[in-house]
């Protein structure tokens, strides 16, 4: 079995504090991961408007959002100006590249994308993707080949725009099967490599799961057979900070279980020789997360 470690970096604090800690952890075990960066302003505080979304309050209560993200982060974009993440953390992002990890795009403005993209048109979507790519090029000095949408949120224009803008593969969706997405009566050449495993914030606080046993729980999930291998999404704000000991323990379990670590680039290379289906994207709710997420339909 193989497992991709995909690190979503959502916030300024997560980039500044969580990313260096994850780099040290991965170096300890000599493993490589894929880091996807939020590259524009940190407007995390504006996510408060999600209070009307079913399941939002229960997630906040279970995962201790204030404890993980910090009060200052929760005020960005509301009572405090949102710091430009890439501009203020350029050296940290470059250190990820220097350490040999894969880097890609998460989004420009995390809250704006996650809360709006599903109902937006092509021009809005293209503008947001261009802003992210321009910031990536400016601060990392290269063109990204991979992307993973904030909050697993997208619209019918995202897959073909990703291909048009030069992304080779993406991890915008949840599900068990990699696929080429079919939207707008066309099939995108940008392969989707979905997140297959639950995340720590989805499991934490439910069914007796705590920071002390969550690593074992996730390891058991990773033992589920999948001919393509698993993708695990972790967050710099969670596994890179308070849940770093749990992430360390999970890695130990995975190593003991003889699972092989991959980046998204390595998984894509492996999949390139296999027959990958063309599938439409569907929407569904996942236990432990509020709202619907983009899913593979297979």
**DSSP line for 208-252:** T--TTTHHHHHHHHHTS--TT-EEEEEETTTTTTTTHHHHHHHHH
First to last CA, the chain: 21
Give me the residues paired with residue 2 across strands: 260
In whole angstroms, what is the distance from residue 185 CA to residue 19 CA? 39
pLDDT for position 236: 97
pLDDT for position 80: 78
Distances in Å between the Cα of 129 and the Cα atoms of 56, 151, 208 are 27, 15, 40
Give me the residues paired with residue 95 across strands: none
Average pLDDT, 10 consecutive residues per value, the chain (298 residues)? 96 96 98 98 76 48 57 71 94 98 98 96 97 98 96 97 97 97 88 98 90 96 96 97 97 97 98 95 92 88
Domains observed in the chain: 2-296 (3.20.20.370)
In whole angstroms, what is the distance from residue 11 CA to residue 38 CA? 7
pLDDT for position 116: 96
What is the number of other CB atoms lying within 10 angstroms of the CB of residue 277?
Answer: 12
- Residue among 128, 63, 94, 114 at smallest CA distance from 294: 114
What is the number of other CB atoms lying within 10 angstroms of the CB of residue 81?
Answer: 12
Specify the pTM.
0.91
Contact 48, 217 (CB under 8 A): no
In whole angstroms, what is the distance from residue 278 CA to residue 177 CA? 10
**Spacing of C-alpha 214 from chain mean position:** 19
Pairing mode, if any, of strands 260-262 and 146-147?
unpaired
- Residue among 290, 292, 275, 288 at smallest CA distance from 177: 275
Residue 125 belongs to what H/E stretch? helix 122-140
């Amino acid at each position: 079995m193989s497992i991709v470690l995909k690190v979503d970096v959502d916030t300024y604090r997560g980039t500044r504090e969580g990313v260096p800690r994850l780099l040290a952890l991965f170096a300890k075990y000599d493993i490589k991961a894929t880091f996807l960066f939020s590259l524009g302003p940190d407007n995390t505080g504006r996510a408060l408007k999600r209070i009307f979304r079913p399941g939002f309050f229960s997630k906040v209560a279970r995962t201790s959002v204030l404890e993980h993200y910090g009060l200052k982060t929760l005020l960005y974009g509301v009572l405090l100006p949102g710091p430009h993440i890439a501009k203020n953390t350029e050296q940290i992002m470059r250190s990820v590249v220097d350490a040999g990890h894969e880097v890609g795009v998460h989004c420009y403005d995390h809250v704006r994308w996650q809360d709006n993209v599903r109902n937006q048109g092509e021009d809005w979507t293209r503008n947001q993707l261009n802003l992210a790519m321009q910031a990536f090029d400016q601060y990392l000095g290269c063109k990204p080949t991979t992307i993973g949408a904030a909050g697993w949120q997208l619209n019918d224009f995202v897959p073909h725009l990703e291909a048009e803008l030069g992304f080779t593969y993406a991890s915008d969706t949840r599900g068990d099967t990699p696929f080429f997405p079919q939207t707008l009566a066309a099939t995108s050449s940008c392969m989707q490599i979905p997140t297959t495993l639950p995340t720590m914030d989805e499991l934490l606080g439910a069914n007796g799961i705590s920071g002390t046993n969550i690593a074992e729980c996730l390891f058991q999930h990773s033992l589920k057979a999948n001919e393509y291998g698993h993708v695990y999404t972790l967050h710099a704000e969670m596994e890179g900070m308070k849940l770093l000991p749990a992430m360390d323990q999970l890695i130990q379990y995975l190593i003991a279980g003889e699972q092989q670590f991959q980046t998204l680039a390595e998984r894509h290379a492996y999949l390139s020789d296999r027959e990958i289906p063309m599938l439409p994207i569907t929407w569904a709710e996942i236990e432990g997360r509020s709202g619907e997420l983009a899913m593979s339909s297979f």
